[in-house]
Structure 1
Amino acid sequence: MKIIVISDTHLETDSIPTYLAELFEKYDMIIHAGDFTSTGFYKALEATGKLKAVYGNSDNIEVKNILPETLVFEVEGVKIGVVHRGALSIMDTDPIRYKALEMGVDILVFGHIHQPIIEKSDVLLICPGSPTKPRMSDPSAVELIIDNGTISTEIIEISGQSCSYIDFSRKLSEE
């Protein structure tokens, strides 16, 4: 199964931007680790029939009433957990690893930090970053492929606006 993992979209729209819609067409499932921000964008993603999601801290009350705070489901015998918060930074993933162990999952998808991480130890931790509001990174998502219990992942760079610090540092290196 081909899965696209996203988080922290923070979109105030009732539709999926074209560049994301074209990306989503290539996948069997969309995992969103919270912070849709608007009900309209959540409903647009939900209408694809591919969505598995949790709410994030920036979601409005309507989204929080629809979605769970944590989610566990299985794909081809692989247990996947989804939460929004957990890691404090890309340098401190211990809390989210313990959350994965507590949830009894093989893979834990999380968001909140807006930077992509794929970290493998006794569990696989995935933070897709943000395709629309990255921090200290380019816009991103994670491709997760599960094929007969074999797991592969890849950070995908997405067209869009990088965070202002990244843009600034690139300009400095050009001089």
Structure 2
Amino acid sequence: MRIGIVADTHMPRAAKQLPQALRDGLAGVDLILHAGDFVTFDVVEALQQIAPLHGVYGNNDGPDMQARFPASQLLTLKGFHIGLVHGHLGKKKSTPERAIEAFVTGLGTADQTTGDGDKPAVKPDVIIFGHSHIPYQEEHHGILLFNPGSPTDKRRQPQFSYGIMELGDTIKLQHIFYPDKH
């Protein structure tokens, strides 16, 4: 299974349409995961024309987007548990730490997932998040953390980016970088 991973599109402020490099790179994926800050439903519709879409809302998504998408969700795909969250909820922690805490009770104790409160009882294999616009890939206590960066609003990053995840016998994650958003 091949999955496109996108976050922080911030459209139409950051771009009027999805960049051609993103559309070309997502062609043929089985699913798209968006980790929040769509901003408008035009992004949702454009991505759904490429492949089925799962998403979460971010801090720049208004009440209409919050009514359509949850703050976080745990998907099971090809036997793997995939957490999806924007990463903006919480205080005084890094974005990766907030992403972990959306799914795991007690930062750094991923093997102690309890399902208390809003946290699922299943330990995610991967947590996908956005918010920082910084491409990120690390393993933390057996959980892969992945931020695709932004395809339209790179901020201080050298290039625009998104991610591809391949699910087979293992999980393969990679960033795809490109120089301009046209």
Deviations 1:133-172 (A, max 9, x none): 0122111111111103x011111103415xxxxxxxxxxx
2: CA distance between counterparts of 1:120 and 1:51? 25
2: CA distance between counterparts of 1:45 and 1:78? 23
1: CA distance between counterparts of 2:62 and 2:155? 22
Q: CA deviation at 1:22?
A: 1.6
Deviations 1:22-78 (A, max 9, x none): 221131111100111112222222343421111111113221211111111111110
Among 67, 70, 84, which residue is 1:68 paired with? Answer: 70
Give the 3-state SS of the residue equivalent to 1:118 in structure 2.
Answer: strand
After TM superposition, the structure 1 stretch with the greater mean CA deviation from structure 2, 44-53 or 107-116, is 44-53
Q: CA deviation at 1:14?
A: 8.1
Among 90, 104, 107, which residue is 1:101 paired with? Answer: 104
Aligned residue in 2 for 1:30: 32
- Residue pair 2:95, 2:132 contacting (<8 A) in 1 also: no
Among 136, 139, 144, which residue is 1:124 paired with? Answer: 144
> Aligned AA for 1:132?
T
Aligned residue in 1 for 2:110: none
Q: How many residues align?
A: 160
> Aligned AA for 2:100?
R
- Residue pair 1:3, 1:143 contacting (<8 A) in 2 also: yes
Aligned residue in 2 for 1:142: 163
Which ranges in structure 2 are unaligned for 5 or more consecutive residues? Answer: 106-119
Aligned residue in 2 for 1:152: 172
Which ranges in structure 1 are unaligned for 5 or more consecutive residues? Answer: 162-175
Aligned residue in 1 for 2:8: 8
- Residue pair 1:11, 1:36 contacting (<8 A) in 2 also: yes
Q: TM-score if structure 2 supplies the norm length?
A: 0.77
1:112 aligns with 2:131: yes
1: CA distance between counterparts of 2:155 and 2:19? 20
Change (3 A) 1:116 1:68: same
Q: Which has the higher helix share?
A: 1
Q: CA deviation at 1:95?
A: 3.4
Deviations 1:110-132 (A, max 9, x none): 10000100111221111111011
Give the 3-state SS of the residue equivalent to 2:103 in structure 1.
Answer: helix
Change (3 A) 1:99 1:133: same
Change (3 A) 1:157 1:92: same
Aligned residue in 1 for 2:81: 79
